[in-house]
Amino acid sequence: MLVVAIPQDALLEHINILKSVGIMPSVITIAPLAFESLLAHMKVVKDEVVATLNIGTAITVISIYKNQKLEFTRMITSKLDRLSMEVRLSLDYFLEESHGSKVEKIILFGEQAELKKTVDILQEQLSVSLVTLNPLKDTNISYAPRVLKEGDGLVSGQQIAICLGSALSHDKGINLLPEQVKRQAKDYFLSAGARFIAILGSFIFLFIYLNLQFLIEGYKERLIAAEAEVETLTPLIKEIEPIERLNKDVADRFNLVKSLLRRRNVWSGVLKDISRLLPPSIILTNLTVNETEVTLKGAVSVTKQSPENILSDFIVSLDKGIFKDISLASAQKSEEAGTLEFSLSAKLDF
């Protein structure tokens, strides 16, 4: 069973940004599931075991698919000196957990995947075939083979891959869009359809009326009616915004979409990493997060192994993952409960 969690305030913040520029989202999903739909649509994955690397400027998300279904995903650093090692660790972990399912190839996505240096380093240090796909291939959309340059009028297939995968995920799989927003989106499209029908009906009626006038009153009267129609449209023409403002609005929307593509939802990866590293003898009682820091509180059950050693091993495991600057705030034994209660904080390493 696949479980996805996201902070409500962060989700609503992104939705409100889109609403502010007149965009009503219909589906919100995570990048690994978006790539699952995209790969299925492009028919590049069959019954083989493949991985995708979505390489961003700070965070890389590795996802592994078996029989065209997402089996494993993890968030790792994008630093070139550690990226290959983190990828190998993830592949080895999946190989062990899946009882021998070996990844046959890695498909590269993301902004950094367009850099030759990144591809060369991964190809040199990994023993797995690397493939770079352009999701805009075989479409009539102009795309750039490299990083998008301002003003060239082109779209990078790597940058828009998650958007295309999310669109292909519509009505399939997990949709993180809140129910109230789904209802608002439905009402919005229904009202838009009603407005379109009303406007279309008005134009049809006006067209019939003008034609009847032309037939009855002749050329002169038709000319007068046309001049009157131009006068009625004059106030509307004056209210039309200048072309410069329209161009600016289009540019702002495009820049907003580019900005959203660069941001990554890190919290699902953080929770999975903590769950993977947490030993059975440790019970978490509280978890507090902000933008870059996590605070954990819990208790270590007294077993054959010293609770202090268990807690120490857990901190070492966290330090080897996506956390840094781990600080143990407190550790106190409770003789009555037979546990070692602790509190520690750590920062995300990206």
> For residue range 161-187, what is the model confidence (pLDDT) as tens digits?
777 887 787 666 677 777 777 676 666
Q: Which of 188, 217, 240 is the last residue of a domain?
A: 240
pLDDT of residue 167: 78
For 109-132, what is the mean pLDDT? Answer: 86
pLDDT of residue 74: 93
Q: How far apart are CA 175 and CA 185, in angstroms?
A: 14
pLDDT of residue 142: 57
pLDDT of residue 244: 65
CATH number at residue 34: 3.30.420.40
Query: Is 245 a member of any domain?
Result: no
Q: Give the DSSP letter string of 102-155.
A: ---EEEEESGGGG-HHHHHHHHHH-SSEEEE--TTTTSSS-EESSS--TTS--E
User: How confident is residue 24, by pLDDT bands cut at 50, 70 and 90?
Assistant: confident
Q: Which of 145, 161, 177 is the last residue of a domain?
A: 177
Contact criterion met (CB below 8 Å) for 322 and 347:
no
Query: Is 260 a member of any domain?
Result: no
**CA-wise closest residue to 309 among 287, 329, 331, 327:** 331
Q: Give the count of domains, the chain.
A: 3
Same domain as 135, residue 194: no
Contact criterion met (CB below 8 Å) for 310 and 297:
no
Q: Where are the alpha helices (DSSP H) in the chain?
A: 8-20, 31-42, 80-97, 116-125, 157-168, 179-239, 243-262, 267-277, 307-320
For 282-311, what is the mean pLDDT? Answer: 85
Contact criterion met (CB below 8 Å) for 300 and 340:
yes
Q: Which of 177, 202, 226 is the last residue of a domain?
A: 177
Query: Is 36 a member of any domain?
Result: yes
Contact criterion met (CB below 8 Å) for 30 and 268:
yes
For 14-23, what is the mean pLDDT? Answer: 85
Same domain as 118, residue 221: no
pLDDT of residue 187: 67
pLDDT of residue 158: 61
Query: Is 194 a member of any domain?
Result: yes
Token pair for 39: 């790969």
Query: Is 31 a member of any domain?
Result: yes
Average pLDDT, the chain: 79
pLDDT, tens digit, for every residue of 38-79?
A: 888 888 777 789 999 998 888 999 999 998 889 999 999 989
Q: How far apart are CA 52 and CA 107, in angstroms?
A: 5
Query: Is 104 a member of any domain?
Result: yes
Same domain as 292, residue 215: no
Contact criterion met (CB below 8 Å) for 334 and 341:
yes
Q: Report the run of H or E that residue 59 belongs to, with start and end.
A: strand 59-66
Residue 55 sits at the vertex; the CA angle it makes with 54 and 57, to the nearest 5 degrees, is 135
Query: Is 110 a member of any domain?
Result: yes
Same domain as 136, residue 29: yes
Same domain as 163, residue 64: yes
Same domain as 91, residue 203: no
Structural domain harbouring 205: 180-240
For 151-159, what is the mean pLDDT? Answer: 56
Query: Is 273 a member of any domain?
Result: no
pLDDT, tens digit, for every residue of 210-262?
A: 777 667 777 677 778 777 777 776 676 666 666 667 777 777 776 765 644 44
pTM for this model (two decimals): 0.48
Task: Tell how far CA 243 is from the center of its chain.
Answer: 32
Does the pLDDT at position 148 exceed 50? Answer: no
Same domain as 106, residue 212: no
